[in-house]
């Protein structure tokens, strides 16, 4: 059930983000009078769950419908014979038609099309060659053929929940190849627009992702406010991972300064020590202030360890609830008991007690506890999971949280600041991807899904959605062919040089970028699979 909840949250979040991203492209395209052929949520190979189109002022809907074939027709000459293209390299076909040798009925039947625009030229593989349907061809189509109404957009929902797309007329992208474009740009096509119009159409998706994140953050702050635990309220100090202990920290140390700055939250420590690479640390230990210097490869050590929470708040082990028939319940422990030792070793912090218990799987232990000022002992046998079967009082009950409430108008600039800081920190940490351990830690859908809570929580869901919107916007603007940033790169080249890359060049570049992204996707999800077996 936990996995299912996370999968549902991931699909819902990514679907929303992809839709608003594509809506950005769609909106700017329509502003500049560019047609959008299709706007789809999810991908729809072979067929679609739902197809919608407004025809003559009325919406038509089709369910579980096969996809309409591309708007193409067979090329004919003035006499109605199949036209040989100048770039046709299939000499066998060329000679056959030049010699006026007719095809057999069986050959014609094999290549017969839905509507009779003529007989197609065959490639060597037996596939026909087409050109686009022109305006003068539209009356020949049946009234119920949606291709007869190219001026309106076909909306739909596919059956592969991995994103979506916006097919803009006259644009070479993942939905259209150079061969599918007519020889002359039409006024309502993307490629017929000036660069200052094409640029907003391209960056519209990224722009809407950033704006969407700012809006979500503002709404979160307006509805829930902001709660966090200041480091100054870490009454019991901080808990450190083995990597931090190797750097000279001790459990309970309180970090009071990083470089020249005073941290306020755990996020500050992560950002400054790992992402920004600050190495000079001052800690408060037993009333004394000490200086520590992190190793130069500290960030790589943290990433190699999994990049989890290497710093956390320490808090007491106080029983909140007991598992019926669990070891602690059978031993007579009650809610409110405070664990103060295990097997004669005195300790009261949750992390220390848990670590000590985990040393004794399938063994008997003695838990020392305090109940209303009186000490008690509970002898119990624990199984191979090394747990005593209790839920503990969360640290928020001991440590003072700081809460900030925002009114509607206050939440807007606060949300923008929150989103901007999130974007800056993500851009800074992006450099780690190009390091050895950073590449190993790169994750795919599994890693992203694990960031969502195990139980449905709308607050955490929207926080993650806003964060993913920031990531989607930033990743899309990277100048890689196939991404929005690749299109922007070629547009800037055209603006500077005055030379427009050919449609065929853009197709080849997009294909290269697509395979690079596919390889990256396989690598990242492969890392997820490997981590499952480690």
Please write the tens of the pLDDT for every residue from 162-179.
Answer: 778 899 988 888 777 776
Most confident among 17-21, 182-186, 510-514 (mean pLDDT): 17-21
What is the number of other CB atoms lying within 10 angstroms of the CB of residue 495?
14
pLDDT of residue 199: 95
Q: How far apart are CA 444 and CA 528, in angstroms?
A: 6
pLDDT value at 246 more than 60: yes
The 10 Å Cβ neighbour count of residue 15 is 17
373 has a pLDDT exceeding 80: yes
Confidence at residue 307, expressed as pLDDT on a 0 to 100 scale: 63
Eight-state DSSP code of residue 318: B
Q: 428-474, pLDDT tens digit by residue?
A: 888 877 777 777 777 777 777 777 877 888 999 999 999 999 999 99
Buried b (16+ CB within 10 A) or exposed e, 230-251: ebeebebbbbbbebbeebbbeb
Instruction: Report pLDDT for 96.
Output: 45
Q: What is the dihedral of CA 380, 385, 387, 390, to 10 degrees?
A: -120
Q: How far apart are CA 170 and CA 165, in angstroms?
A: 15
Is the sign of the CA dihedral 114, 118, 119, 124 positive or negative? negative
pLDDT of residue 131: 52
- For tokens 């700012």, name the residue: 214
Instruction: Tell me the average pLDDT of the chain.
Output: 83
Tell me the pLDDT tens digit for each residue of 60-80.
999 998 876 555 555 444 455
Residue 154: closest CA among 82, 219, 215, 70: 70
Give the helix ranges, DSSP H, for 87-150: 91-98, 105-110
pLDDT at 46: 84
pTM over 0.85: no
Does 443 or 128 have the greater pLDDT score?
443
Q: What is the dihedral of CA 171, 177, 182, 185, to 10 degrees?
A: 20
Contact 269, 257 (CB under 8 A): no
Which tokens is 280 given? Answer: 């000079």
Give the pLDDT mean for 94-100.
Answer: 45
pLDDT at 119: 40
| pLDDT score at 69 | 59
According to the model, what pLDDT value does residue 306 have? 74
Tokens 């106080």 belong to which residue? 318
Which region among 383-392, 438-447, 477-486 has the lowest average model confidence (pLDDT)?
Answer: 438-447
pLDDT value of residue 111: 41
Taking the C-alpha atoms of residue 263 and residue 252, their distance in angstroms, rounded to an integer, is: 16
Report the SS3 class of residue 459. Answer: helix
pLDDT digits (tens, 9 = 90+) for 281-313: 999 998 899 999 999 988 888 888 876 688 999
- At residue 93, the pLDDT reads 42
Please give the Cα distance from 503 to 394 (Å, whole number). 60
Using CA atoms, how far apart are residues 342 and 2, in angstroms rounded to an integer?
Answer: 32
Enclosing H/E stretch for 55: strand 47-55
Q: Specify the pairing of strand 154-157 against strand 36-43.
A: parallel
């Amino acid at each position: 059930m936990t996995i299912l909840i996370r999968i549902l949250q991931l699909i819902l979040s990514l679907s929303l983000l992809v839709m608003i991203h594509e809506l950005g492209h769609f909106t700017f395209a329509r502003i500049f009078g560019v047609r959008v052929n299709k706007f789809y949520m999810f991908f729809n190979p072979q067929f679609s769950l739902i197809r919608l189109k407004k025809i003559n002022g009325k919406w038509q809907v089709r369910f579980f419908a096969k996809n309409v074939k591309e708007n193409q027709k067979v090329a004919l000459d003035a006499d109605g014979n199949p036209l040989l293209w100048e770039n046709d390299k299939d000499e066998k076909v060329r000679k056959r038609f030049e010699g006026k040798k007719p095809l057999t009925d069986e050959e014609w039947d094999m290549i017969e099309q839905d509507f009779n625009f003529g007989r197609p030229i065959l490639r060597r593989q037996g596939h026909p060659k087409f050109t686009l349907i022109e305006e003068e061809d539209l009356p020949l189509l049946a009234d119920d053929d949606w291709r007869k109404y190219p001026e309106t957009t076909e909306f739909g929902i596919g059956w592969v929940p991995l994103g979506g797309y916006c097919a803009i007329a006259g644009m070479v992208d993942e939905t259209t190849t150079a061969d599918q474009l007519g020889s002359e740009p039409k006024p309502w096509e993307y490629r017929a627009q000036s660069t200052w119009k094409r640029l907003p159409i391209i960056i519209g998706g990224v722009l809407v992702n950033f704006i969407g994140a700012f809006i979500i953050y503002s709404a979160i702050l307006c509805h829930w406010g902001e709660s966090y635990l200041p480091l100054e309220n870490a009454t019991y100090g901080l808990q450190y991972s083995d990597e931090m202990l190797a750097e000279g920290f001790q459990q309970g140390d309180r970090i009071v300064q990083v470089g020249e700055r005073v941290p306020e939250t755990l996020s500050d420590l992560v950002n400054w020590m790992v992402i920004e690479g600050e190495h000079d640390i001052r800690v408060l230990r037993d009333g004394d202030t000490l200086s520590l210097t992190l190793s130069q490869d500290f960030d790589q050590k943290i990433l190699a360890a999994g990049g989890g929470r290497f710093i956390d708040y320490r808090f007491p082990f106080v029983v909140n609830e007991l598992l019926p028939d669990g070891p602690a319940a059978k031993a007579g422990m009650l809610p409110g008991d405070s664990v103060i030792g295990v097997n004669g070793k005195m300790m009261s912090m949750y992390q220390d007690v848990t670590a000590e218990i985990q040393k004794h799987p399938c063994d008997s232990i003695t838990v020392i506890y305090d109940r209303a000022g009186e000490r008690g002992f509970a002898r119990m046998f624990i199984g191979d999971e090394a747990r005593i079967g209790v839920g503990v009082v969360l640290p928020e009950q001991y440590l003072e949280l700081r809460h900030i409430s925002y009114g509607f108008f206050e939440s807007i600039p606060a949300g923008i600041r929150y989103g901007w800081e999130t974007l800056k920190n993500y851009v800074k940490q992006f450099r780690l991807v190009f390091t050895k351990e950073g590449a190993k830690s790169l994750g795919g859908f599994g890693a992203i899904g694990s960031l969502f809570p195990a139980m449905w929580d709308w607050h955490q869901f929207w926080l993650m959605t806003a964060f993913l919107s920031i990531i989607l916007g930033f990743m899309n603007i990277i100048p890689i062919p196939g991404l929005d940033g690749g299109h922007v790169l070629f547009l800037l080249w055209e603006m500077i040089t005055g030379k427009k890359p050919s449609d065929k060049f853009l197709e080849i570049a997009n294909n290269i970028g697509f395979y690079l992204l596919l390889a990256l996707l396989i690598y990242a999800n492969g890392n997820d699979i490997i981590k499952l077996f480690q």
